[in-house]
Chain A
Amino acid sequence: MPPQPQADSIMKFIDEFRDADMARGVLGQIRRQSRRQVRLMEFCGGHTVTIMRHGIRQLLPDTIEMLSGPGCPVCVTANADLDKAIALAANPEIIITSFGDMLKVPGSRSSLQQARADGGDVRIVYSTLDALQVARDNPDRSVVFIGIGFETTAPTIAASIKKAEEEGIGNYHILSLHKLCPPVIKALLDSGEVKLDGLICPGHVSAVIGSRPWEFAAHDYGIACVVTGFEPLDVLLSVDMLVNQIEQGKPTVEIAYRRGVTPDGNLTAQNLMHAVFEPSPAAWRGMGTVPGSGLTLREEYERFDAERVFDIDPGPTVEHKGCICGDILRGVKTPPDCKLFRTACTPERPVGPCMVSSEGSCASYYHYGSI
């Protein structure tokens, strides 16, 4: 047995939600309740990781089919957009700052990691706070932060823009590749490609936007919705609640992650996000352009917008033949359906982002696949 942690040194609000006995209890309840065949989608890549890492698919009854959705901001960044970031990296005046997740994702011809090997100044940062510091430390060069992420992350980028404005930092810019979740769920449902009975809604996006934005899915599309967190118990509880809604025939939006999410969400964060950004059309890998699903800097902040300040020539966009990341992101295919999976496309030599992102479906299947 490993050394037992002291009561005051456990990770509070994490460890308690990994309790194996409680998990067995919830699984038992799911099995007792689940009668009809249902198809549930976990939107969020983080939920896919939890499910795969703990082997939750194996533990659920056969009546429940789980599909992975497009909630991986790295995976849904289109090649054309990534190519812009890579083109900026080739500019010797520019320091690129980026979250680590983006580094190895293949664009049309290259990647940020490759751009760094080719001499570009590409730095991994953990926070926009770090990127701002790089800007302060390098006043004679321009810093571009590659802004990816959903509504969880967008407010933090908005905060950094406000800080830059406040301090008069003139060499800080962002390339906004941010995306919004509810519009893409709507587009997915409108496409009619996937028939869903229930949706596991993203927990930290909802900590910011609240649970109300998901109501359209329940009211207009009849889909059961539960917002949940990222520990195994959170995910199991959401499945239990979804099955319950579906068996009762009463789709609605419920919150399983009550410690983190409220119906209205974080208004300070939302207001800041809206003050700095406005919705715009955005290209989602595999889904084309989805109206109102991206974020663009408002006119009064255009001096911080890398796309408006720099001349970016990303070159022609190339989609890799045989890559079905788009289909996988829409839940229409699973990684084993892809001809390239494990053959031409591996984490060491990824063809598409689903294999290289730590949250991508293909990466999860590859690393945590069942025997």
Chain B
Amino acid sequence: MCLAIPVQIKSIEGSEAEVEFGGVTQKISVLLTPEARLGDYVLLHTGYAISVINEEQAQETLRLFEEIERLAET
């Protein structure tokens, strides 16, 4: 559901953060993700971060795809 894009936190001040996505920077609210830290990637939806992206899990998922590709070739 709902358009949310992965953006990276470049600076945080209180519940506001400056984030960057593909060269675009924007000020957003991190009120809903108080655990977010500088350098984290978060999912941005209508001006708010709604979740901190788990980078390890992202890599795991990509490894899964590589594994599936490899299996397909055997």
The answer to whether B23 touches A9 (Cβ under 8 A) is: yes
Question: How far in angstroms is the closest Cβ of chain A from B57?
Answer: 4
Residues of A within 8 A of B58 (CB): 13, 16, 258-259
Q: Which of A12, A149, A207, A237 contacts B43 (CB 8 A)?
A: A207
| Max count, chain A CB within 10 A of own CB: residue among B4, B41, B71 | B4
Chain A hits for B72, CB < 8 A: 24-25, 28-29
Question: Known: A10-B22, A208-B51. Is A149-B2 also a contact (CB below 8 A)?
Answer: yes
| Closest residue on chain A to residue B24 by CB atoms | A11
Minimum distance in angstroms from B13 CB to a CB of chain A: 15
- A269 and B1 contact, Cβ closer than 8 Å, known pairs A207-B50, A260-B51: no
List, in ascending order, chain A residues with CB within 8 A of B38's CB: none
Asked if B46 CB lies within 8 Å of chain A CBs, one says yes
Q: At the interface, is chain B mostly helix, strand, loop or mixed? A: mixed
Chain B, residues 21-37, CB within 8 Å of chain A (1/0): the string is 11100000101111000
Q: Which of A24, A71, A130, A259 contacts B57 (CB 8 A)?
A: A259
Indicate whether B39 reaches chain A with its CB closer than 8 angstroms. no
Partner of B31, one of A19, A159, A205: A159
The answer to whether B11 has its CB under 8 Å from any CB of chain A is no
- Kindly identify which residue among A9, A25, A129 contacts B29, using a CB–CB cutoff of 8 Å: A129
B60 contacts across to A, CB distance below 8 A? 258
* A137 contacts chain B at the CB level, 8 A cutoff: no
List the B residue with the shortest CB-CB distance to A21.
B69
Q: A152-B45, A152-B50, A202-B1 are in contact. Are A266 and B71 (CB under 8 A)?
A: no
Cβ-closest chain A residue relative to B54: A259
Enumerate chain B residues within 8 angstroms of A261, measured Cβ to Cβ: 51
Chain B residue at smallest Cβ distance from A201:
B1
Residues on A with C-beta less than 8 A from B22 are: 9-11
Known: A11-B21, A14-B6, A260-B53. A233 touches B65 (CB 8 A): yes
What separation, in Å, do the CA atoms of A46 and B34 have in the docked complex?
27
Binding site for A on B (CB under 8 A): 1-6, 8, 21-23, 29, 31-34, 41, 43, 45-48, 50-51, 53-55, 57-58, 60-62, 64-66, 68-72
A-B residue pairs in contact (CB < 8 Å), sample of 10: A13-B53, A71-B1, A99-B46, A129-B47, A149-B2, A150-B2, A159-B32, A181-B1, A208-B51, A268-B33
Interface residues of A, Cβ cutoff 8 Å to B:
9-14, 16-17, 19, 21-22, 24-26, 28-29, 43-46, 71, 73, 99, 126-130, 149-150, 152-153, 155-156, 159, 181, 202-205, 207-208, 233, 237, 240, 256, 258-262, 266, 268-269, 272
